[in-house]
């Protein structure tokens, strides 16, 4: 595990907050839906999205990471503001570091996955599919001779369906023929996804990071306007690599330097059976603190600003309830 030196000075603050994290929410109004990381409360014409500090893998919660929810929520907020001239988004207000109030939209059942590099290790990742011999993916032709982690000649849109049990890669032709979207909506949303990603790549590179791949979600509001929804360019929805070591590591045949959470997953694999054990051991505090510092490092690097730590004298739930008073 490579310790991120640039955030070592935050460790004292992180360690002081190990027991002040947001794992559960309980607003007094709205119908609640619980996701892996976010809880959402649906009101008449808007939705309250609360990003928690839950860290999940193996389809369960492994730990609660101080400031993680704030990093994800505020990273999204920054990117939503940066990209509002490319496409309208669903943000109404950000009343708290962990909370965004958004417009209700009818969500398109397609995730717009955009890739700038051929990489990944899962069964549906572009590199795995290519390495297995396929030369077409989601309607995109792939040339011979590509190597893992190489930059693609042009950014590639590889959409997936949003289905209850599993998402599946799908081509634009299938999206239309299977009636997931109309041609007009697909043309607009796919163009927006590519524009957002190209913008994100430039902005990230300016701050020393490579935006490798990401996913976008879009939906239509009650006035018929298509908006960017969910989250944008967060460390949970996107893959980032450190820019200044990329070429050197590629030349040496090494994996690019990333700021990911794999070390925490590996600890659980080494210390229990995370798929089958009913009760999991507590993650070591030093690993939790390290992961928290990585999220903060990513925020500061991508956004180019110091992380705005909240008031240390309040519990997260207490602060959220105060900040939401009169808004629901």
User: What's the rounded Cα separation, in Å, for the pair 221 and 290?
Assistant: 40
CATH class of the 5-105+285-324 domain in this structure: alpha beta
Half-sphere exposure of 63 (CA within 13 A, CB side): 24
Residue 318 burial by CB count (10 A; 0-12/13-18/19+): exposed, middle or buried? exposed
**278-289 pLDDT tens trace:** 999 999 999 999
Task: Say if CB 92 and CB 104 are below 8 A apart.
Answer: no
Q: Quote the pLDDT of residue 163.
A: 84
Contact between 297 and 259 (Cβ < 8 Å): yes
Distance CA 65, CA 72 (A): 12
pLDDT band for position 266 (50/70/90)?
confident
Of the candidates 280, 254, 285, the residue with the CA atom closest to the CA atom of residue 269:
280
Helix ranges (H only) for the chain are 11-16, 68-82, 126-131, 172-177, 183-206, 246-251, 262-271, 285-303, 316-324
Tell me how far CA of residue 157 lies from CA of 128, 173, 239, 300, in angstroms: 17, 13, 15, 28
How many CB atoms are located within 10 Å of the residue 178 CB?
A: 11
What does each C-alpha distance from 104 to 91, 92, 101, 116, 123 come to in angstroms?
10, 10, 9, 31, 33
* Position 52 pLDDT exceeds 70: yes
Q: Transcribe 248-271 into DSSP letters.
A: HHHHTTPPPPB--SHHHHHHHHHH
At 121-173, the pLDDT tens digits run: 888 889 999 999 999 999 999 999 999 999 999 999 999 999 877 789 999 99
Contact between 200 and 76 (Cβ < 8 Å): no
The CATH architecture that domain 106-220 belongs to is: 2-Layer Sandwich (3.30)
Q: Quick one: which of 20, 79, 29, 26 has its CA closest to 209?
A: 79
pLDDT band for 187, please (50, 70, 90 cuts): very high
Where exactly are the structural domains of the chain? 5-105+285-324, 106-220
pLDDT at 34 over 60: yes
Q: Which of 29, 76, 140, 99 is nearest to 299 (CA)?
A: 76
Give Dmax over CA atoms of the chain in angstroms: 59
What is the chain's percent helix, strand, coil content, to nearest 5? 35, 25, 40
pTM of the model: 0.93
SS3 of residue 291 by DSSP: helix
Q: How many CB atoms lie within 10 A of CB 134?
A: 11
Residue 257 has pLDDT above 60, yes or no: yes
Evaluate if residue 313 carries a pLDDT over 80. Answer: yes
């Amino acid at each position: 595990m490579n310790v991120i030196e640039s955030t070592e000075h935050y460790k004292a603050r992180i360690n002081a907050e190990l027991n002040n994290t947001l794992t559960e929410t309980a607003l007094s109004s709205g119908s609640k839906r619980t996701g892996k990381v976010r809880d959402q409360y649906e009101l008449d014409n808007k939705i309250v999205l609360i990003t928690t500090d839950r860290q999940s893998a193996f389809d369960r919660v492994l730990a609660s990471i101080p400031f993680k929810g704030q990093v994800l929520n505020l990273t999204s907020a920054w990117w939503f503001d940066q990209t509002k001239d490319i496409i309208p988004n669903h943000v109404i207000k950000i009343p708290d570091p962990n909370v965004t109030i958004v417009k209700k939209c009818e969500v398109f059942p397609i995730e717009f996955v955009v890739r700038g590099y051929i990489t990944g290790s899962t069964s549906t990742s572009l590199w795995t599919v290519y390495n297995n011999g396929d030369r077409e993916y989601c309607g995109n032709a792939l040339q011979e001779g590509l190597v893992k982690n190489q930059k693609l000649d042009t950014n590639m849109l590889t959409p997936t369906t949003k289905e209850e049990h599993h998402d599946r890669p799908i081509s634009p032709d299938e999206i239309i023929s299977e009636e997931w979207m109309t041609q007009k909506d697909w043309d607009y949303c796919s163009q927006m996804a590519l524009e957002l990603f190209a913008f994100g790549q430039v902005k990230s590179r300016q701050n020393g990071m490579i935006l490798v791949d990401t996913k976008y979600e879009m939906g239509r509001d009650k006035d018929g306007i298509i908006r960017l929804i969910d989250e944008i360019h967060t460390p949970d929805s996107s893959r980032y690599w450190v820019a200044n070591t990329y070429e050197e590591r590629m030349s040496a045949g090494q994996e690019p330097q990333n700021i990911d959470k794999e070390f925490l997953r590996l600890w659980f694999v080494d210390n229990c059976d995370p798929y089958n054990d009913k009760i999991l051991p507590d993650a070591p505090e030093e690993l939790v603190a390290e992961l928290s510092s990585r999220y903060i490092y990513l925020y500061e690097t991508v956004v180019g600003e110091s992380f705005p730590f909240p008031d240390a004298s309040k519990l997260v739930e207490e602060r959220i309830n105060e900040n939401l008073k009169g808004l629901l």
